[in-house]
A = this chain, B = another copy of it.
Amino acid sequence: MNFASYAEDLGRKARSASRLLATTSGARKDRFLALAADALERGASPILEANAKDIAAFEAGGAAPAAIDRLRLTPERIRAAAQGLREIATLPDPVGRVLDSSVRPNGLHVHKVSVPLGVLFFLYESRPNVTVDAAGLCVKSGNAVILRGGKEALHSNLALHSLLHESLRRAELPPDAVQMVSNTDRAVVGELLQRVEHIDLVIPRGGEGLIRRIAAEAKMPVLKHYMGNCHVYVDRAANLDMAEKIVVNAKCQRPGVCNAAESLLVHADVAEVFLPRAAAALSRQGVELRGCPATRALVPQAKPATEQDFAAEFLDLILSVQVVQDLEEAIAHIARFGSGHTEAIITTDLNAARRFSAAVDSAAVLVNASTRFHDGFEFGLGAEIGISTDKFHARGPCGLQELCSYKYIVYGDGQVRE
């Protein structure tokens, strides 16, 4: 196979579909979402059969149980994916909204209007239900998408794609609005990442290694976060009951996700009271602590923390702990070790809350709430395609609006420039 011409063909078809999709009515896009949701529920059997083939090969290859579980589709998971599409259909059309407008002194009416980005290239791993979510978000936002799932999920993804393709056709939308890379050779990805003329944005979701490779290689913008080394800072003026509850939630409620806390900073004035009780509560949840010398003086069971520990995203029941002398030291620690994803301060001091939220340069800063709330649904944006820690274009949860650009449309009645 000629990888370059395969990639070129995918890109050209996507660009051509995106031009039609950009001016499609919301009703037609929502009709696709409804048809695809119904088709998923009615067509579950062939999808489950394809998935069984993937699972068998993955098990034979010796994959870990957690990885196999991520790959597995069940009737419940398919129903949940269908439900996800129906929820996207209920969201307002993000395209064609007037984001801002003004009437100029010369009578020109200037409108800033949302438009789709164009063509997205979405790379992801294992979980095949992401195929459905991503297709739904992209079509609703008027973008054509090229999907590239994990090799191990290929049969499942092709079965899902065939159904999405048929639903596009039935909704009278361009079937190339959603394409699947069916050749999983890495060279195809490399070719696609060069094609700025066909692809407007790359969204990689997966491990840090994958994302760094894509970002280094792509010639077009990449929407991404490398990792979430999220901090909870317990201020001198914290309500310590609240602080304990939030630290335990941020660390333990779902330790394997990007907005879980990985590091705890405690003001020296409250460390003696707070750290032993927090350590006890965390230990009851099975959390291993790795602390600075001051922490270990108060919490003997804590292991010594290295610089690597303070920079780590554990994605596990491990928490690094640092005692800081004041708010500024907490801010400096986060600037040095943080990943710009999510940080929280627990305090009753208004000045501390305002200083922390202004000076900490992260996509989300929470005051007296768990880091786990940094999420599109929790922020009220609806479904999200990912979280960005970049500052360019979109930062934080990326939902339908973040998959849009804008253009200026100006109405006049013959104005010329003097």
A residues touching B (Cβ–Cβ < 8 Å)?
A: 19, 22-23, 96, 102, 104, 108, 110, 112, 115, 117-118, 200-201, 221, 239, 242, 245-246, 248-250, 253, 335, 353, 357-359, 361-370, 372-374, 378-380, 391-393, 395-396, 405-417
Contact = CB atoms under 8 A, between A and B. Distances in A.
Contact of A410 (B104, B118, B239, B369): B369
B249 A369 contact: no
A372 B411 contact: no
21 contacts: A22-B358, A104-B378, A104-B379, A108-B373, A115-B361, A117-B391, A221-B221, A242-B414, A245-B416, A246-B416, A249-B417, A253-B416, A361-B407, A364-B408, A364-B409, A365-B407, A368-B414, A368-B415, A369-B413, A370-B415, A372-B416
A408 B374 contact: yes
Contacts of A372: 416-417
Given A249-B417, A393-B392, A405-B395, A412 B368 contact: yes
Contacts of A118: 361, 391
A395 B406 contact: yes
A154 to B, nearest CB: 30
Given A108-B373, A392-B405, A364 B249 contact: no
A361 B102 CA distance: 21
Given A366-B410, A373-B108, A379-B110, A391 B358 contact: no
A108 B370 CA distance: 11
Given A358-B23, A392-B393, A370 B409 contact: no
Contact of A253 (B221, B380, B410, B417): B417
Contacts of A361: 19, 22, 115, 118, 407
A408 B376 CA distance: 11
**Number of copies of this chain in the oligomer?**
2
A416 to B, nearest CB: 4
Nearest to A414: B242
4 smallest A-B Cβ distances: which pairs? A369-B412, A249-B416, A391-B405, A372-B417
Interface SS of A by simple majority: mixed
Contacts of A249: 416-417
Contacts of A409: 357, 364-367
Nearest to A241: B414
B368 A411 contact: yes
A362 B412 contact: no
Contacts of A359: 22-23
A23 to B, nearest CB: 5
Contact of A379 (B250, B380, B408): B408
B221 A392 contact: yes
Contact of A367 (B246, B365, B411): B411
Contacts of A367: 409-412
A115 to B, nearest CB: 8
B405 A200 contact: no
B406 A370 contact: no
A411 B245 CA distance: 16
Given A374-B408, A378-B104, A415 B23 contact: no
A117 B416 contact: no
A157 B117 CA distance: 38
A348 to B, nearest CB: 10
A413 B365 contact: no
A380 B412 contact: no
A414 B406 CA distance: 37
B239 A414 contact: yes
A95 to B, nearest CB: 10
A118 B359 CA distance: 12
A370 to B, nearest CB: 5
Contact of A408 (B112, B115, B396, B407): B396
A410 B365 contact: yes
B108 A369 contact: yes
